[in-house]
Amino acid sequence: MVDDDSAKGAGAGDDPSADRGLAQYSASELQQIRDEFISGKMPLCPRCKVAMSRREIGGGSFGLGYARQRDWLICGKCRRSAIFDIQRGTRT
């Protein structure tokens, strides 16, 4: 009897869009996303090559002297995301 289970497990490494087992984007991937977003175009997920969607996140509390405006970029395929405070030039 031939066991076909070994063939099933081999497929995960064959997919070029595989997530490489990492749950979060690397620092270089985050920089790539940020650079694309700042340039005015919607970034592609560095892992899936799918256009990311954007959600605005307000911040700050009433009475504070500042209000943070953050952008949450989400990949619809792998569900990874990145949050940036573009005005301050930081990643949160």
Per-block mean pLDDT, blocks of 10 residues, the chain (92 long): 45 46 88 92 94 82 64 93 75 53
Please give the pLDDT value at position 70. 83
Per-residue model confidence as pLDDT tens digits over 2-23? 444 444 444 444 444 444 567 8
- 10 Å Cβ neighbour count for 14? 7
Please say whether the beta carbons of 82 and 92 come within 8 A. Answer: no
The amino acid sitting at 55 is R
Identify the helix (H) or strand (E) that includes residue 85.
Answer: strand 81-85
**pTM given for the model:** 0.64
